[in-house]
Amino acid sequence: MEMTTIFTNWLPLATVLLPFLAGLALYLIGERKPGLINPLVLASTFLPFLFAASFYPPVSAGLFPSLALDILPPVGLSLRVDYLSFYALLLFATAGLIVSIYALHYLGRDEAKRHRFFAFQLLVLSGCYGVAAAGDFFTFYLFFEFMSIMFFVLVAHNQSGAAIRAAYKFLIMTIIAGVTLFLAVAVVYWETGTLTFARSGLGLENSNLVLIAFIGFIVAFGIKSALFPLHLWLPDAYSEAPLPAATISSMIMLKTGAYGLIRVYGNIYGIEHLSETDWSYYLLILAGFTILFGSIVALAQKDLIRRLAYSGIAQVGYIILGIALMNELALVGAAYHILAHAFMKGALFLCAGLMIRESGSRAIADLQGIGRKLPVTMICFGVATVTAVGMPPFNIFISKWHLGLGALAVESLVIVLILLASSMLNATYYLPIVTRAFLGAGPGSAPGNMEAETGGTNPAGSTKTGNYHRSRLPLLSEAPASLLIPVIILALGCFVFGLTPVNLPLELIEKGIALYF
């Protein structure tokens, strides 16, 4: 095991606290001073991003910034940014910043209760950052609960009947998750007297109580990361929540469940201990089933957002699968997939937002020929799509490579075949959207073009002149930069890490996972 050192640092706390305080402030004064919303949201997502990035030099050198707070005795709160925490924190902070920039424009000034949405978005982000930076499971639990409950308000934002129902469904399942997680954490604390993430395994003895705690962890994180059959809240919540909220859930919140599970396996039980039991085997089966289930159901969806939602269920299944395989390669693949899926699905969601904004419909059938109006958006969508299929040099190739090798390490060809089948299904439900956006609707013949040209409903508000001769004026009907740049950054994130001479996130993950073995 590599030698690591810890030093006290207040920046992790600032990272978590800043969006929290900004969120509170926004909720109190945002309605009276709507002009404050944009600068406040930008500042309180940009600074945490900077703070998180500033941890790179010490963390990569094996120095973990940490902070112990003597509140809430007897356990106390602690923050600790080790390899995996840093990886998750920077990823979440990046995603939070990008989605916030997009959301500020997407939910424009006429949005009802705009200040409430952004206030709670900041609170959710604060919870997410706290989950990533937590130094022990108690702290993790508090932030995890906080994040989940705050998200309720985002789901219910539209206040339509369907939105409220979806939010209730979400809330009920969240509460179940919270209760089971509390039970599990309590058992672990009672058995070992500590909950820290600083050790690879707390030395739990096998007993029924410990098994129940394990099941509690699985149920709690299974609900959060939409593991079959605990995924029920997700499709409704995604299709009713405002698009940026669904994006945050997909990019960050689903991953907190997966991240928590990695912590349970690596830090609480210890890989060595779990390898002696067959508990993980059942999780493996569930994960394999989740992958196939999510992919097949996604195929049947005609609504773009619901298709993305079910695809997300399948993709998070990969992460759970990698964790349940319990070997180094598979765990690296699982952890890398957190990033791979965040960028991929984030790009898809934000692109979907722009497509819906242009076409005015969420039905996939209405998106024919949209690539001629939104070439940049659809190229980004296409990049994310081939990422989902797992083609090199895109990110998911890298995670599938590790997952596949991890499956071969336990001599399971079946799991490799499940991954392949899911990739093929990904291709069949994503690629047609792209190919039909670009091909089969010649210039000027795209449905809806006539209406748009004659100045029909155009939420972008941009003036469109002439026809869509995209070889000359490709950007005319594209969304404004504040919506397009987040999309482009996410699409670039789908492959840049594999192009650089050293894959930085992968390097960090390998160091972090190596501590468990």
Which residues contribute to the site for another protein (CB under 8 A)?
386, 389-393, 397-398, 400-402, 404-405, 408-409, 413, 416-417, 420, 423-424, 427-428, 431-432, 435, 438-443, 471-472, 497-503, 506
CB-based burial, 287-318: b 16+ in 10 Å, e otherwise:
bbebbbbbbebbeebeebbbbbbbbbbbbbbb
Question: Is 203 or 444 the residue whose CB approaches another protein more closely?
Answer: 444
Identify which of residues 132 and 434 has a Cβ nearer to another protein in the complex: 434
Q: How far is the CB of 421 from another protein (least distance, A)?
A: 9
Nearer to another protein, 348 or 398 (CB): 398
Q: Which amino acid is at 483?
A: L
**Closest CB to another protein among residues 280, 385:** 385
Q: Given the complex with another protein, which of 270 and 505 has the nearer CB atom?
A: 505
210 vs 250: CA distance, rounded Å: 31
Question: Distance between CA 320 and CA 365 in Å, rounded?
Answer: 33
Determine the Cα–Cα distance for residues 230 and 290; give it in Å rounded to an integer.
10
162/473 with CB nearer another protein: 473
Q: Are 483 and 106 in contact (CB under 8 A)?
A: yes
Shortest Å distance, C-beta 237 to another protein: 31
Closest contact distance (angstroms) between CB of 37 and another protein is 40
CB of 264 within 8 A of CB of 225?
A: no
Residue 387's CB: how many other CB atoms inside 10 A? 27
Identity of the residue, 116 or 436, whose beta carbon is nearer to another protein in the bound complex? 436
Look at residue 441 and give its three-state secondary structure. coil
Taking the least distance from each CB to another protein, the nearer of 202 and 386 is 386
Tell me if 98 sits within 8 A of 486, measured CB to CB. yes
Min CB(435)–another protein separation in Å: 7
Cα 422 from chain centre: 19
Minimum distance from residue 443 beta carbon to another protein (Å):
7
Is residue 36 helix, strand or coil?
Answer: helix
At residue 66's C-alpha, the angle toward residues 60 and 71, to 5°, is: 165
In angstroms, give the least distance from the CB of 423 to another protein.
Answer: 6
Residue with Cβ nearer another protein (258 or 419) = 419
| Cβ-contact 298, 429 below 8 angstroms | yes
d(CA 507, CA 284): 26
Least gap, CB of 411 to another protein (angstroms): 8
Contact 172, 243 (CB under 8 A): no
* Nearest-approach distance from CB 329 to another protein, in angstroms: 10
What is the nearest approach in angstroms of another protein to the Cβ of residue 376? 14
- The answer to whether the beta carbons of residues 23 and 151 sit under 8 Å apart is no
> What are the DSSP E strand ranges found in 70-219?
77-80
| Helices 114-133, 83-106: crossing angle, 10 deg rounding | 170
Q: What does the alpha-carbon distance between residue 204 and residue 265 come to, in Å, rounded to a whole number?
A: 12
Q: Residue 142 burial (CB < 10 Å; 0-12/13-18/19+)?
A: middle
With contact defined as beta carbons under 8 Å apart, do 338 and 322 qualify? no
Name which of 273 and 400 has its Cβ closer to another protein.
400
Q: Among all chains, which residue has been given the structure tokens 């090199």?
A: 392
CB of 448 to another protein, least distance (A): 18
Q: How far is the CB of 350 from another protein (least distance, A)?
A: 22
Q: Considering beta carbons, is residue 252 or 389 the nearer one to another protein? A: 389
Cα separation, 517 vs 514, in Å, equals: 5
The residues near 326 (Cβ < 8 Å, ≥ 6 apart) are 265, 271, 274, 275, 280
User: Strands 77-80, 63-69: parallel, antiparallel or unpaired by DSSP?
Assistant: antiparallel
Cβ distance to another protein smaller for residue 21 or 504? 504
In whole angstroms, how close is the CB of 194 to another protein at the nearest point? 36
Q: State which amino acid sits at residue 142.
A: L
In angstroms, what is the minimal distance from the CB of 429 to another protein? Answer: 12
Cis peptide before 229 (omega within 30 of 0): yes
For another protein, the closer CB: 214 or 429: 429
